[in-house]
């Protein structure tokens, strides 16, 4: 699997993401700086990692969404290349218009850093086929602005289309409908607040995040 990790000023999970992709995919990903104007050819997956791009000024992910490389990420997503955004990456995807809705300040107005329980709502995506529908997993979160918001009409559409892939069982941030991760209608762009890359081998305390990356590898291009 040929992959790339986009690195923004303030990214702090890019190495975690790169390690997960290399360990599970077998090939080191390209590390692409946000100011670049091109992506490597033939990518199967583009990953936007967690962190605090541009210090979360304006809105989390708003400035990063305007980075030069994001124009190429949007073009690649439109062609069907898989794009995964985790935590700050999820925020960037919504700000770039690749996913609907918005990520707001946590309902408790505090930074949340702990393991949370998720339920796999849709196991028929390129990112979740390694799980069973309804499976409960444990994945870490670390965010201050993870409160997913969408209006009632959008929520109805997301639920009806099966675009809610992961749902919190112990909602840490106030997200509507307990949404932890969604996918676009085309099925190639996934955004989620929890960090699957932080739980891929036993030394990290569990492997509940590993099937996500194995699912992407299994689906290829």
Positions annotated as catalytic residues are: 87, 195, 197
Best CA proximity match to 106, nearest among 162, 154, 64, 168 = 168
Virtual torsion, Cα 167, 89, 197, 52, nearest 10 deg: -110
Q: Residue 15 corresponds to which tokens in the numbers above? A: 């190495």
Backbone angles phi, psi at 37, to 5 degrees: -105, 0
How many residues in total does the chain contain? 221
DSSP 8-state secondary structure symbol assigned to residue 214: H
Please name which of 68, 23, 75 lies closest in space to residue 46, comparing C-alpha atoms.
75
Name the nearest CA neighbour of 213 among 86, 98, 106, 107.
86
Pairing outcome for strands 30-33 and 112-120:
unpaired
DSSP H or E segment with residue 213: helix 210-219
């Amino acid at each position: 699997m040929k992959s790339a990790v986009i690195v923004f000023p303030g990214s702090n999970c890019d190495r975690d993401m790169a390690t997960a992709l290399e360990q599970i995919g077998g090939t080191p990903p390209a590390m692409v700086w946000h100011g670049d104007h091109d992506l490597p050819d033939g990518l199967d997956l583009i990953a936007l990692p967690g962190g605090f791009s541009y210090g979360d000024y304006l809105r989390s992910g708003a400035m990063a969404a305007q980075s030069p490389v994001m124009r190429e990420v949007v073009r690649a997503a439109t062609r069907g290349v898989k794009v995964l955004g985790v935590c700050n990456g999820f925020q960037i995807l919504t700000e770039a218009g690749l996913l609907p809705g918005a990520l707001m300040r946590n309902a408790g107005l505090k930074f949340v850093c702990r393991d949370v329980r998720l339920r796999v709502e849709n196991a028929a995506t390129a990112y979740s086929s390694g799980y069973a529908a309804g499976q409960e997993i444990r994945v870490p979160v670390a965010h201050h602005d993870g409160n997913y918001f969408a209006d009632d009409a959008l929520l109805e559409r997301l639920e009806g289309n099966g675009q809610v892939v992961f749902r919190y069982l112990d909602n840490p941030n106030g997200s509507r409908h307990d949404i932890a991760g969604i996918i676009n209608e085309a099925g190639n762009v996934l955004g989620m607040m929890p960090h699957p890359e932080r739980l891929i081998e036993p030394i990290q305390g569990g492997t509940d995040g590993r099937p996500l990356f194995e699912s992407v590898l299994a689906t290829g291009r």
